Chains A and B, each alone.
Chain A
Amino acid sequence: MATIDPLLVILFAANMLILVLVVLFVVKSGCFSLQNKIQFWLIAGYILLLLASPVVIQMLPKENFADERIKKVSEKDLYVQTDLYTIAQGASPEQIKGVFVLEQWEFPYNGSTLNVVVRPLYEYDVVIVVERKDSADGKIEVVNYASKPIVELLDLSEFMKPHKVALDGNVLKVTAPERLEIELGMFKNEFVVSQILGDTELQSAPWRYGSQLIYLRVPADVEVQSEASVHFVEKQ
């Protein structure tokens, strides 16, 4: 617990004493006009509201704060290599730490070619990885992998929205989710405080904004075509 400088206590007590004395002096030193009375009570009301604030703030429930509700990660977790692009180079998603399944789909499919369409094209470049299975099992499996977005050691995975994936005939349509904007707020010490007590700084830990990847497992007899960039990998 932080110790309070006795000088500060004396200063604060002196401030409060002066405030009280001023109020007493003003009240005792003759009658007010009506206008003065209104002004006086407006000022007194404002000061009372401010003096009540330190008490009120202590009573606010703490569970509403983002860092109380959202899961925290350790600094060690933050430095785990979670480069989703290594999947496109043949790494197994299950073996990459910090990568998780955001959503998955399975579609029965009997066609010979599959056209993968990405929307919106050009504005957005999702990494699509295709793995051809050993057997022609008539099933297309789609997995939306993601890496954790971490800000101030808060795991913000719960806010990530998956892609929308739908199969229509021989067209597999992959639609990007709407961009999600999260604004976190924090208080910093006033400059008059930081001059004496130093600055309050954000955690030095770096931020990671997380990324997403679409992984397709297609039957052995299906050819995949796409206008978007598709990476083919061998079965892991």
Chain B
Amino acid sequence: MSLTGISLTEPSFFDTVKKQFLYKLKGRLGLFLAMIGVQIMALLFSLSGASSHGMGDNLLYFSFNEFSSDQVIWFTFLWIFVVAVLITTKDYQNIDFTFVANRLSSHLSNVGFLITAAVIGGVTAMLSGILLRIVIYFTRGHYLLSENFIAAPEVVLTGIAVTILYLLLVSALGYFCGVLVQLSKVFIVILPALYIGTVDFLARELPVIVKVYNFIIGENSLALLAVKVLITTALIYACSCVLANRLEVR
């Protein structure tokens, strides 16, 4: 009896997680459409160039415009943050009640969804840089320099890997913020204030911010960055789960 009980219980948990994950993926396809919208908007912004400088006199003026898909990547970060917050809201959590599920399976399926979103977001954000190159080739080909036009596979793959890592981190932060807001609506005010306070005004003065910056953004090794981001992400998700369980108890 006990053996039968174990064999029935064990797969059913992961089966539930899988089913929830797939159900959420299907039910939230609109979020990926939003990602496409956000990326296309960022691509349109990127057409005017990332930075420009020039020189000249009364007869001749040269300006130099640098293009990159940085904006697409930043917009994708923003998108995944919003998505991560959004899926912690009650409207999105209600989807779990259609399954025989517990809080853990719900979290795991959410994390699975966010990992999938990070992978899709990372691949599309970096590849959109190549689409941007093609569009600019046809719109401004006459005065375009070939340098960096065809990105080496190494460059594209590095970009995809790092973007996915950042998206994982941003999604974990978004999820954490979402859980905090579910815990108390006070965080709707505290979190933006905290962000503006630490990032905009005190960033240069707070050694802890500099340390965090160097820990992630200052890391030049892909392997080390991956280890740091994955551990940090896992820790943030663990904190989110613990906090969310408190929410359930309340």
Contacts and interface: CB of A to CB of B under 8 A. Distances in A.
A169 B217 CA distance: 71
B145 interface: yes
Interface string B107-145: 000000000100110111011111101101100111111
A27 B198 CA distance: 44
Contact of B120 (A47, A160, A161): A47
Contacts of A202: 64
A180 B29 CA distance: 50
Interface stretch (A56-64, A92-100, A135-143, A217-225): A56-64
B222 interface: yes
Interface string B48-59: 011010111111
Contacts of A212: 59
Interface in B169-215: none
A89 interface: no
Contacts of A25: 22, 25
Contacts of B32: 39, 43
Select the residue from A32, A65, A156 with max chain B CB neighbours within 10 A: A65
Interface residues of B, number: 78
B34 to A, nearest CB: 10
Given A22-B116, A49-B131, A68-B146, A192 B163 contact: yes
Given A19-B123, A185-B145, A156 B62 contact: yes
Nearest to B145: A186
B142 A209 contact: no
B206 to A, nearest CB: 22
B33 A43 contact: yes
A188 interface: yes
Interface stretch (A5-13, A75-83, A228-236): A5-13
Contacts of A43: 29, 32-33, 36
Interface string A20-57: 00100110011010001001101100110111011011
Contact of B129 (A12, A32, A182, A190): A190
A227 interface: no
A8 B127 contact: no
Contacts of A16: 123
B29 A4 contact: no
A177 B59 contact: yes
A36 B31 CA distance: 12
A15 B160 contact: yes
A56 B244 CA distance: 47
Nearest to A206: B55
A214 to B, nearest CB: 12
B143 A57 contact: no
B60 A159 contact: yes
B155 A46 contact: no
A67 B147 contact: yes
Nearest to A120: B58
B50 to A, nearest CB: 7
A160 B73 CA distance: 39
Contacts of A22: 25, 116, 120
Contact of A50 (B61, B124, B141): B124
Given A2-B152, A190-B126, A179 B59 contact: yes
B59 A50 contact: no
19 contacts: A5-B158, A7-B223, A8-B154, A9-B157, A25-B22, A26-B22, A29-B26, A43-B29, A50-B131, A64-B141, A66-B143, A159-B60, A161-B59, A181-B61, A185-B65, A186-B144, A187-B67, A189-B155, A196-B222
Given A12-B157, A36-B29, 13 more contacts: A8-B161, A15-B160, A18-B116, A50-B128, A57-B133, A64-B144, A123-B58, A156-B60, A185-B136, A188-B50, A190-B69, A190-B159, A197-B158
